[in-house]
Amino acid sequence: METKDKIIVDGVSFFYSSNRVIDNVNAKFKTHTLTAITGPSGQGKSTLLGMFNGMWNDTPGARCTGEIQIRLGGRWVSPLKKEIPMPLLRRKVAMIFQEPNPLPMSIAKNMAFPLKLAGIRDKNIVQEKVQRALEQSFLWKEVKGRLEESALNLSGGQKQRLCIARALVLEPEILLCDEPTSSLDAKAAGVIEELLVSLKSNCTLLVVSHYMDQVRRIGDQVMALEDQGLKRI
């Protein structure tokens, strides 16, 4: 294994009951890079992302074969072999979704939520981490005066940046983004694109997107999931 590799996918196939969704995928993803994954709808792009942090685990009838190795904290672990507890894996391999999904509570409480789940309750540490994550997400200046307001009052783009900030608060090593701009207008999408590119210094990013121009703009490498296989383009 090369030292710069962050994720190695070796002969991975994915099935829903007897239906093969992904067939024998092989790929390598380097540390501190942004890989954009594109392809037609229904080819399993979201499923592929979910395999890196075990989001498919509780889906009835779902089955995965092959091997995935992820380097976390200098140690190689296999999420498919469940060598690491799923909550711990998901704190290090964070994920954001197509639709921004802030919880119906204040901006501050949304941000502190993952820290409380992880058992971090020291107010000073929480405050410091929340501010840092909001700054990384270009959101601090916009919300610093209204942290106690409901997160549901934010605009679509701000909500998505809040969700990215909420994922970053746990300082993940990998950030999985499932079509993060598809529900946003062009201006808000542009801000998110810029934000994702800036996050490369902190973590490794895998971004699924439908838009070819977008993936070429932001991706260090671009891959297409077609005919159940992953190809570099």
Partner 1 sequence: MQEVLEKLAVFLSWTMTLVLCLCLSIFLIYLLIKGLPSFGAELIFGKAEPLKVLLGQARVFDGIFPAMVGTFFLVLLSAVLALPVGVCSGIYLAEYASPVMKKLFGSLFDILAGIPSIVIGLFGFSLSIFLHNHFSDRFGPCLLISALSLAVLVIPYIVRSTQMSLEELPSDIRRTALALGATRLQNIAYVLIPNALSGISSGLFLAIGRCAEDTAVILLTGVVATAGVPSSLLSQYEALPFYIYYISSQYSNPAELSNGYGACLVLLGICSVLFMFAYGLKKHLSYRTLYRV
Alpha-carbon distance 51 to 225, whole Å? 14
Do 169 and 111 form a contact (C-beta atoms < 8 A)? yes
Report in angstroms how near the CB of residue 60 gets to partner 1 at its nearest. Answer: 6
Contact 177, 205 (CB under 8 A): yes
Query: Could you tell me the smallest distance in angstroms from the CB atom of residue 50 to partner 1?
Result: 9
Three-state SS for 160?
Answer: helix
- Structure token pair of residue 151: 């997160």
CB of 160 to partner 1, least distance (A): 13
Residues within window 208-227 making contact with partner 1, judged by CB under 8 A? none
Footprint (CB under 8 A) of partner 1, residues 169-198: 170
Distant-in-sequence, close-in-space partners of 47: CB < 8 Å, separation ≥ 6 = 14, 21, 22, 56
Instruction: For residue 99, state whether it binds partner 1 (rule: CB under 8 A).
Output: yes
Shortest gap between Cβ of 181 and partner 1 (angstroms)? 17
The reply to whether 25 sits near partner 1 by the rule CB under 8 A is no
Site string for partner 1, 58-97 (x = CB under 8 A): x-x--------------------------xx-xx--xxxx
Beta strands 75-77 and 62-72, pairing class: antiparallel
Nearer to partner 1, 54 or 224 (CB): 54
Q: How far is the CB of 229 from partner 1 (least distance, A)?
A: 26
* Gap between the Cα atoms of 177 and 95, Å rounded: 6
Task: Give CA–CA dist 63/57, Å, rounded.
Answer: 8
Residues of the shown chain interacting with partner 1 in the complex, contacts defined by CB under 8 A: 53, 55, 58, 60, 87-88, 90-91, 94-97, 99, 101, 103-105, 109, 113-114, 116-118, 166-167, 170
